[in-house]
Amino acid sequence: MTHLLLGFLIALSVGLTGIGGGSFTVPALLLVAGLPPVEAVGTTFVFAGVLRLVAAPFYLATRQVHSRYFRLLLLGAVPGLVIGMVALRILAKQDSNALIVLLVGILLTLSSSVSFVPRAQVPGFARKNSHWLPWLAFPIGVESGFSSAGAGALGTVLLLNYSEMVPAQVVGTDLVFGLVLATIGSAIHWTFGSVSTAVLAQLLLGGIPGVIVGCFLSRKLPAQRLKTVVAVIAICAGLQLVWSGARALGAKNAANAVHLPARVAGTLRP
């Protein structure tokens, strides 16, 4: 029942704002479901992909997707996604996942806060400097690859602040952009076997109705209010990742401190 409710609330955020699929689900699966980090990321990729697949037609039907910006974002993000997933596999073997989640959370919180700094907003940037979009999307792809977070929150914040699109079109463009990344990530994680099908089924049971409700509600929100909601949710997502990463890192350090004297004594024992 808990996973079903989580799926509904996260999916509501995805349908309403286009973000939350990775930023909210990974901390929830780590803290509530107790999944290993790699399995949490893999399960999140599939869950977020299905949610975006359900939500995408709502935005495509109303032509709320900027095709040119969408292609430019993918051009930089897909290579970054592959690099991020390779890094995840390598770092998982070194037990560095807590540090990764912590750093992603800090970056997500800081970048999302840009929405509340008027001087940092350049609405005409993408139209005049579109060749920079792939380079700006590359680190988003890297983050999405090793944490499944970033495609929704960071992509939305980027387009909100540096393009001329209205918030509804930003959400639609970023949602389809995230769908492609989630599809690629899902296929790779499914091949690796790092997907919990039992948890995924419960999340989707609540998530599919949630994303449909969110898509219908998004049409009734004023543009400025939608922009504020997007930024606030992105900041909350970042803080969630910071908290979960710091907690896991602290627990790891505490465990090492407890076992260190025993290891030292073992080396000194004749």
Q: What is the mean pLDDT of the chain?
A: 79
pLDDT exceeds 80 at position 188? yes
Contact 17, 157 (CB under 8 A): no
User: What are the pLDDT digits (tens) for 159-182?
Assistant: 877 888 887 788 888 888 988 998
Contact partners, residue 79, CB within 8 Å, separation at least 6: 138, 141
Q: What pLDDT shows up at residue 204? A: 93
Average pLDDT over residues 33-38: 81
Q: What pLDDT shows up at residue 202? A: 92
Q: What pLDDT shows up at residue 155? A: 81
Least trusted range by pLDDT, from 12-21, 124-133, 178-187: 12-21
User: What are the pLDDT digits (tens) for 197-253?
Assistant: 999 999 999 999 998 888 788 767 665 566 677 677 777 777 877 887 787 778 777
